[in-house]
Amino acid sequence: MNVSNVIVTGAAQGIGKAVAVTLAADPTMSLLLADIQSDKVAEVAAELGATSTQVDIASPESCQDMVQVAVDRLGGLDAVVQVAGLDAPAGTAKDTHPDLWRRVIDIDLSGPWWVAKSAVDHMVQHGGGRIVIVSSVSAHVPSDGTTPAYNAAKAGLHGLVVAMAHQLEGDGILVNAIAPGATGTGQPLTNDERTMLEEIFPLGLGGPQPVADMASFLLGPGGDWVSGAIFNVSGGMHKGR
Ligand SMILES: NC(=O)c1ccc[n+]([C@@H]2O[C@H](COP(=O)([O-])OP(=O)(O)OC[C@H]3O[C@@H](n4cnc5c(N)ncnc54)[C@H](O)[C@@H]3O)[C@@H](O)[C@H]2O)c1
């Protein structure tokens, strides 16, 4: 299918903004950029000649409204790139408060589900579409200072992707995930952390662009025969899954 009407969530900054900039370079694309930071995402949209809306991905109603805005302002919806989320919130197995657990699961696991579900409700009526969910290698890689709720949420997204892909291919809806390694966006890196990452990534610290390029690939003809896949985009650091 030709993908032209696309929602990018989390587009105010970081990986989502890189996805928006990359897709906007294709003149056939019409983009709705969505984020909880409405002013900031409106600025990005203005720079790119795109349109924008506020969304809280933790709210199913807000996600449904976002899809309706895409239908009204773009004239339809072919794909969603779901990037919005909390990046690696601080915490440990010993000190994660119930409120932090619920907030991370609400935004990093339930949020992508509400976004995808709202898109699917439209796509099943309109000949299919594509859903790309940004997860993380944290689905299977532990870290010292990030709450386990984050790893659990990201692992949950991989289950979500294989289940949705299996059940929706017959409706022409292709669902995939991109699992990035550290991109240097989101939680700020200290200079020491950045130096360490530049040294330990076999292919160097790539930033958000390789993730954006993978999203672009999955929306293009290269994605026509790809469904239920988890793409490890981690500069060679994490191998085999
Ligand atoms: N930064 C990394 O190294 C890295 C690595 C792997 C995966 N990821 C994942 O990629 C995604 C984006 O990370 P990033 O580095 O761009 O982070 P970021 O903090 O720079 O951007 C996240 C964006 O999501 C938006 N957002 C947060 N909560 C929201 C909500 N409830 N509703 C709508 N928008 C909301 C923020 O406003 C922000 O614009 C996250 O899911 C993160 O877990 C990041």
- To test ligand 1's pocket by mutation, which of 19, 62, 87 has the most ligand atoms within 8 angstroms of CB? 87
In CATH terms, the fold of domain 5-233 is Rossmann fold (3.40.50)
Domain boundaries, the chain: 5-233
Span 186-239, pLDDT tens digits = 888 888 888 888 888 889 889 999 999 999 999 999 999 999 999 999 999 888
Tens of pLDDT, residue by residue over 32-53, are: 999 999 999 999 999 999 999 9
Phi, psi of 192 (to 5 degrees): -65, -45
Pocket of ligand 1 (CB under 6 A): 10, 12-16, 35-37, 55-58, 83-87, 107, 111, 134, 136, 180, 182-183, 185-186
Q: Would residue 208 show up in a list of annotated catalytic residues for this protein?
A: no
* CA of 56 relative to ligand 1 center, distance in Å: 12
Q: If you ran DSSP here, which 8-state letter would residue 225 be given?
A: T
The three state secondary structure string of 133-162 is EECCHHHCCCCCCECHHHHHHHHHHHHHHH
How far apart are alpha carbons 133 and 135 in whole angstroms? Answer: 6
pTM score of the predicted model: 0.97
Q: How far apart are CA 59 and CA 106, in angstroms?
A: 9
- What's the whole-number mean pLDDT along residues 163-177? 98
The atom number, within ligand 1, closest to the CA of 18 reads 16
